[in-house]
Structure 1
Amino acid sequence: MPDRLTDRLRRHVRTPRQKLVASVVAAAVVLGLGGYGVARLTTPEDRSCATGVERPEGSDECVGVNGDGHDFGIAALRDIAGAIGRENAPLKEGEYVTVAVLLPLTSTDAGMRTKVLHELQGAYAYQYRANHQSNSQTPKIRLVLANTGKGNAHWRATVDRLTALTGAPDRLRAVSGVATSSTEIRESVAALTGAGVAVVGTTITADDIANGPGAGNNRYPGLARVSPTNSDEAKALAHFGKVDAAKAFLVQDTRTGDHYTDTLKAAFAANLKGAPHEPALFTSPADPTEEGTTANTFRQITHLICDTRAETVFFAGRHTQLRQFINALGSRGCADRAFTVLTGDEGSYLGADEKLDRSALKAKLTVRYAALAHPDAWRAAPGRTVPRTGGSEQAYGDFLKDIARAAPPGNPVALTDGQAIVAYDAMATAVHAIRQATPQGSRYPELADVATQWPQVKGSLRVQGASGWICLDNYGNPYNKAVPIVELAQDGSQRFVQIAWPEGRPPAASCLPPKRG
């Protein structure tokens, strides 16, 4: 019994040395865990996605600039991003300059995701031609992807990153893409051109994201575009359709701040001065890719259209609302009357829109839009000849060879929406300016010299675009650019009708813009 009591005392009563050792061990454990906790609290969270790309605070999107093959977490972009990364990899410092494609790469809108993919494919196709099939012209071109995030919400951080790349080794010399006529894109263009960076818009068509004559109208020095303005689209539609204003009706969005819609409705109104009725109005959601409640409004508007003598309806709005409007017209009360809907290039999204009621197109309803490009525009076909000026079969044939390299095996690039064609032409225009601005004996141009090239892109110095000739006026706007008129067929396919021209006829062989009053 005493022996067992002694053993218990030995287990609970430690010597001074044992107490010291125990205290040291306990302190070490506490300090170690505490240090780990402090480190966790004080070390910034790693929000990087790839070189030049990170997740902004409060967002899971990967935003920034990268040319190493990063796909920004979008599986559909993996192949094309990888191809661009492989093309960039062997380029050596000092032999190349950088061109960025600025787009909302992580958009969740299905139509925008398709647009983004096709634009990257078109841009890469011309990058490859510039580096491998241009008689060893220099500098070579490094292409990088610049993501502005869903709704272009993170444009500022991405633009800041781009302007920081104008020095060595990147030597950013141009930005392409800038493909939507939104407030965020207008501010992006202002910031880039304000920093001396040349910008080539692909599918921006808003008249107020452009330069022009007169004091205060050169807000974006260094901006060029390869697509016609909304005003030119409206003129081309008017020349094509020879619309009787007395039998026309305008449906327009009242949401302001959308530069595509604002300038399109102004252009349509200018061409419908003799229309007998005021426009029918609807208001799209703040994010026009959302459904909202406009479908109900369009159901009511169809009743008003039936009350008129209209035969042609001009629609000034984005593609989601356009689709809702067409669906509503398909079940209109006056089904015995035929109508033609005319709209801008947002109509190009309809072919891939799964929510479009294709049966509506069988109800004496024709839908036509002014496209930016179409694969049949510069290909001869039975009963249709190619215009002798304004574009060429050869330029389009070169594009077809180049774009084949941008597609995964067995999965050719879709061309009917025109996005790949226009993006290819924008890259061609950017590369043209970069190489024209490179002094003889130099390896690359100075930043400021690229943005001054646009007034010379005309006449024999025009760009032979796959979408048609790109002849720029002194303000960087395409002169009398070919406008393919496309009809949405009953099966949802996008059928080329004919080329229309803002000036009513193709440009002269010289392709020199006339002096404006």
Structure 2
Amino acid sequence: MARRGVGTWVRESVWEIPLRRYLALLVAAALVAGLVFAVRPLLRDDRSCAPGVSRPEGSDECVGVATGSYDFGQTRLRDVVRAIRRENDRLKPGGYVTVALLLPYTSTSATSLNDILHQLQGAYLAQYRANHDSNGEAPAIRLVLANPGATGGHWRQTVDQLTRMTTSADRLRAVAGVGQSTDNAKKAVRELTRRHVPVVGSSITADDLANGQHGQDPYPGLARVSPTNTDEARALASFARVSAGKALLVYDKPGDPYTRTLQRSFAALIKGSPYEPQPFTPPADRSQEGTTANTFRQITHLVCDTSRETDTILFAGRHTQLRQFINALGGRGCQDRRFTVLTGDEASYLTHESELDRTALRHRLAVRYTSLAHPDAWARDTARTGGSAADFGALNELLAGARRAPVGPIGSAALDDGQLITGYDTLQLAVHGIREAVPDGRKIPGLADVGLQWPQVKGSLRVDGASGWICLDVHGNPYDKAVPIVELTPEGGARFVRIAWPEGKPPAKDCLPPSP
């Protein structure tokens, strides 16, 4: 074998070192590239937002049940969510049950988020009262936030998660809240109750989101704090004495559970009216503006075309469309004529609505609605039945203490839209059902047993709510519940007018619903 010379060896060594380094760099680059490509799918598949909350495939919304201090990215909820977390953290394992407050926490509507904040604040104050001012009654109450999405579209994922929590250490025993009467809300409530999960509705008022219609109970285990649209319309009629010949109906077509049942209730009040009801068609997501402002501008011309005796407009629609309609009426041609718009509790969303043209309310226009609650409802007459200043005062005292530790802070609170009061009463009813269902010698009730308590919530077993007495019929609906009539003011906010009653008068002292 021929021997290599020194020169040849040196030349090969000089080239060999850089070549080795080059190959090493290539291998390292390949490894890094492989690692990046391997990690990317993992990053893509990480859909979590917080414990119990994740983004469904094809969506950027964080939905599910938040069991920690997650506020769904809503800074206005931060203080009250932290207060709830502090209260939850002090509970002893095995000594509490969980109540989930089901609301659309990822809503993009500032108006809706105000209502959500106030309901959450009210629910927390009821939780705090139940855990600290109940003379040691058991079980303690843990509160969590359940989000089905801004429009409720992810209700099934959230319902599945809530169902699992009924058999885990969470010991979920009720779902409260629900909020708006939408088709997705109906689906969620139907599925929860089908799975024997008790539900306590806060501000749902649609007749077809209630039991007892046509003798049927499609939602076994559902109780409600708020009257149905029919009961609200009856209370409104007893207050306003609506005449068929002097009223025009404007309604959402095709509508949703809330607007459809409100439309039917209003149509029954003015049966035989000489005027054809005027429809408008909003976007499917009724929190969006759409083009309905144009329709309302045209309807104002028809309003002015009615006889001069016509002075009432019954509005069956959501708050965004109501705001557009009020703004249009402010510029109507017949400024010399006085009109009163009568509508349902959705109008409470406009209490602090910045886009509402309040100057319209100075142009011979009044907007009155059936509120679910109002802080002035019991201030004028403490002797009447159906509620009392003392019951509201208990909440007011709690709220005053929530400005600082140990109860608060809970963020900026308001009572005049009724939502904080309603949220408080909703959780009070849930706590009542849970504790009444506890068997002798035990501290935790069975899941289905909670929903069996609703028919007995009457008489001396009623809940003395801050919004008025909560006396339930055998279907879980409030009987002859106080309905505050409220009026939007040009200066901002809303003014209490007076209490109306579905039965035309307050319930008797025994608060026992009569036979149908």
Pairwise TM-score range, normalised by the shorter structure: over 0.9
Distance 1:41 1:122 in 2: 43
Instruction: Please show how residues 234-245 of structure 1 align to structure 2 within 5 Å.
Output: 234-245=233-244
Deviation at 1:92, TM superposition (A): 1.9
Give the structure 1 partner of residue 384 of structure 2: 388
Deviations 1:85-111 (A, max 9, x none): 000002122100000000100100111
Deviations 1:444-484 (A, max 9, x none): 10001001111000111000000000000000000000000
Match of 1:10 among 5, 8, 13: 13
Q: Is residue 2:402 matched to residue 1:403?
A: no
Give the structure 1 partner of residue 514 of structure 2: 514
Give the structure 2 partner of residue 225 of structure 1: 224
* Structure 2 letter corresponding to 1:132: H
* Structure 2 letter corresponding to 1:475: H
Evaluate the alpha carbon distance shift between residue 6 and residue 206 of structure 1 in structure 2; reply closer, same or farther with a 3 A threshold: same
Deviation at 1:28, TM superposition (A): 5.5
Instruction: Please show how residues 156-171 of structure 1 align to structure 2 within 5 Å.
Output: 156-171=156-171
Q: Is the 8 A contact 2:402 2:409 kept in 1?
A: no
Distance 1:378 1:480 in 2: 16
Instruction: Please show how residues 429-440 of structure 1 align to structure 2 within 5 Å.
Output: 429-440=429-440
Give the structure 2 partner of residue 181 of structure 1: 181
Give the structure 2 partner of residue 342 of structure 1: 342
SS at match of 1:484: strand
Deviations 1:342-384 (A, max 9, x none): 000011111211111111111111110000000100123xxxx
Distance 1:362 1:34 in 2: 68
Instruction: Please show how residues 60-209 of structure 1 align to structure 2 within 5 Å.
Output: 60-209=60-209
Deviation at 1:37, TM superposition (A): 3.8
Evaluate the alpha carbon distance shift between residue 439 and residue 485 of structure 1 in structure 2; reply closer, same or farther with a 3 A threshold: same
Evaluate the alpha carbon distance shift between residue 42 and residue 67 of structure 1 in structure 2; reply closer, same or farther with a 3 A threshold: closer
Evaluate the alpha carbon distance shift between residue 213 and residue 180 of structure 1 in structure 2; reply closer, same or farther with a 3 A threshold: closer
Give the structure 2 partner of residue 297 of structure 1: 295
Instruction: Please show how residues 315-326 of structure 1 align to structure 2 within 5 Å.
Output: 315-326=315-326
SS at match of 1:336: coil
Distance 1:410 1:61 in 2: 25
Give the structure 1 partner of residue 260 of structure 2: 262
Q: Is the 8 A contact 1:62 1:73 kept in 2?
A: no
SS at match of 2:151: helix
Distance 2:412 2:25 in 1: 67
Distance 1:64 1:286 in 2: 23
Distance 2:412 2:390 in 1: 20
Q: Is the 8 A contact 2:330 2:361 kept in 1?
A: yes
Deviation at 1:334, TM superposition (A): 1.1
Deviation at 1:441, TM superposition (A): 1.1
TM-score, normalising length: structure 2:
0.94
Give the structure 2 partner of residue 247 of structure 1: 246
Evaluate the alpha carbon distance shift between residue 242 and residue 387 of structure 1 in structure 2; reply closer, same or farther with a 3 A threshold: farther
Give the structure 2 partner of residue 29 of structure 1: 28
SS at match of 1:475: coil
Instruction: Please show how residues 363-378 of structure 1 align to structure 2 within 5 Å.
Output: 363-378=363-378
Give the structure 2 partner of residue 287 of structure 1: 285
Give the structure 1 partner of residue 333 of structure 2: 333
CA-atom RMSD in angstroms: 2.1
SS at match of 1:168: coil
SS at match of 2:340: strand
Give the structure 2 partner of residue 484 of structure 1: 484
Deviations 1:144-194 (A, max 9, x none): 011112111221111111010001311100000100100110000011111
Q: Is the 8 A contact 1:404 1:412 kept in 2?
A: no
Structure 1 residues without counterparts, runs of 5 or longer: none
* Structure 2 letter corresponding to 1:234: A
Distance 1:364 1:245 in 2: 21
Evaluate the alpha carbon distance shift between residue 7 and residue 372 of structure 1 in structure 2; reply closer, same or farther with a 3 A threshold: same
Distance 2:156 2:201 in 1: 18
Evaluate the alpha carbon distance shift between residue 495 and residue 100 of structure 1 in structure 2; reply closer, same or farther with a 3 A threshold: same
Deviations 1:385-410 (A, max 9, x none): 24510001111000112233445659
Q: Is residue 2:423 matched to residue 1:420?
A: no
User: Bigger CA drift: 464-473 or 484-493?
Assistant: 484-493
Distance 2:121 2:402 in 1: 5
Distance 2:227 2:490 in 1: 27
Q: Is the 8 A contact 1:213 1:475 kept in 2?
A: no
Distance 2:272 2:394 in 1: 44
SS at match of 2:211: coil
Distance 1:357 1:40 in 2: 53
SS at match of 2:185: helix
* Structure 2 letter corresponding to 1:291: E
* Structure 2 letter corresponding to 1:235: R
* Structure 2 letter corresponding to 1:142: R
Structure 2 residues without counterparts, runs of 5 or longer: none
Evaluate the alpha carbon distance shift between residue 42 and residue 313 of structure 1 in structure 2; reply closer, same or farther with a 3 A threshold: closer
Give the structure 2 partner of residue 307 of structure 1: 305
Equivalent residues, number: 505
* Structure 1 letter corresponding to 2:136: S
Evaluate the alpha carbon distance shift between residue 33 and residue 239 of structure 1 in structure 2; reply closer, same or farther with a 3 A threshold: same
Evaluate the alpha carbon distance shift between residue 23 and residue 474 of structure 1 in structure 2; reply closer, same or farther with a 3 A threshold: same
Deviations 1:57-107 (A, max 9, x none): 233322111232111111111111100000000212210000000010010
SS at match of 2:477: coil
Evaluate the alpha carbon distance shift between residue 23 and residue 283 of structure 1 in structure 2; reply closer, same or farther with a 3 A threshold: closer
Distance 2:240 2:214 in 1: 32
* Structure 1 letter corresponding to 2:82: G
Distance 2:494 2:274 in 1: 32
Q: Is the 8 A contact 2:342 2:369 kept in 1?
A: yes
Distance 2:40 2:67 in 1: 33
